[in-house]
Amino acid sequence: MPPQTALFLPPGVVAPSVAAQATAAGGPPFDREFFEQTLPRSIAAFCSQVVCTRPIVELYTVDGARHFVKAIAGVSERWVALHTQREDHDHDIQVFLPFGAIYRVEIHPDEDDVQRRLGFLAIMDAEEGE
């Protein structure tokens, strides 16, 4: 008999029981696969549901830092290199983070022109290339 209630998740998002099993297997929740596959698909899925041309992707680390991710510059088995920017600086920064230091990633719509400069580049670049 099919379940009475169904929960439909966006592409790249797994049910909590599956995610808990993966984390219990010993790896950090954010890994190479997350940055190469899950995050780009999740950003695209989010922007197909909410009006945003350049979403704001915020990444939080265990040391309390908040990073506005503009692009993923590179990924290894142990770390990710991110092209980031700060709210209070106009220049870009490249930061290398070990996966174990990352505890939360958020995707927000771009709300104004000031925040738009902090937005993730892949969505806008794909639209400009069409």
Q: Which among 48, 109, 121, 111 is positioned nearest to 82, based on CA atoms?
A: 121
- What tokens does 21 get? 């099993």
Percentage of the chain lying above the pLDDT 90 cut: 33
Q: What is the pLDDT, as a whole number, of residue 38?
A: 93
Q: Is the pTM of this model over 0.85?
A: no
Q: Is residue 18 part of a domain?
A: no
The per-residue pLDDT of the chain, averaged, comes to 75
Over residues 14-33, the mean pLDDT reads 63
In a domain, 111, yes or no: yes
Q: Is residue 9 part of a domain?
A: no
6 lies in some domain: no
Between 18 and 113, the more confident residue is: 113
pLDDT single digits (tens) 39-89: 999 988 888 888 877 888 999 999 999 999 989 989 999 999 998 988 777
- Domain annotation covers residue 7: no
Is residue 8 situated within a structural domain? no
**Residue 3 maps to a domain:** no
Q: Where are the beta strands (DSSP E) in 14-91?
A: 56-61, 66-75, 79-85
- What pLDDT shows up at residue 8? 55
pLDDT bin (cut points 50, 70, 90) of residue 18 is very low
Domain that holds residue 44: 30-128
10 within a domain of the structure (yes/no): no
- Residue 129's pLDDT is 45
